Amino acid sequence: MTGATIWLTGLPSAGKTTIAYELAGRLRAEGHRVEVLDGDEIREFLSAGLGFGREDRHTNVQRIGFVAELLASNGVKVLVPVIAPYADSREAVRKRHQREGTPYVEVHVATPVEVCSVRDVKGLYAKQAAGEITGLTGVDDPYEEPESPDLRIESHHQTVQESAQALHALLTERGLA
């Protein structure tokens, strides 16, 4: 089976990881080899010691992109729910995949910051509002929205299952599912 990297970018609490795990279950049920490279787990193990400044965020994204391409080039569907706030970092990952001839799909989980701050899965928006943290992507740190992603999901207008289905349909259309 053909591997591919499916990168889900968006603000904190946009629904990236939830959609990725929903899609992963569906793909596994169809017999695909699937890995989810969760941003929080990567930070703990692969990118420990990196901060949240622009340079460290770029390094983090490049490390994840390298691992994703390596897995994808070996037949794994790699779901990457990672903020990756900078367009140039995401573009570098796309170019790595293109150079290697590995399928790459960019998905923008386009949930407005107002919705994300209500969801606030990890309590980050509350901590930022209380002055406990700074540098929160989309609030007091930049998030550069993808200009032309392969798919834009508005998770605040559909269920997790509908979001995963939209992504599955795109993968099917491209011969990747």
Annotated binding site for ATP: 10-17
Q: Write down how long the chain is.
A: 177
Helix ranges, 104-173 (H)? 113-119, 124-129, 160-173
Q: Which two tokens stand for residue 110?
A: 């386009």
User: Which H helix or E strand runs over 55?
Assistant: helix 54-72
Distance between CA atoms of residues 133 and 90, nearest Å: 25
Helices 160-173 and 16-29 pack at an angle, to 10 degrees, of 60
Residue ranges of the binding site:
10-17
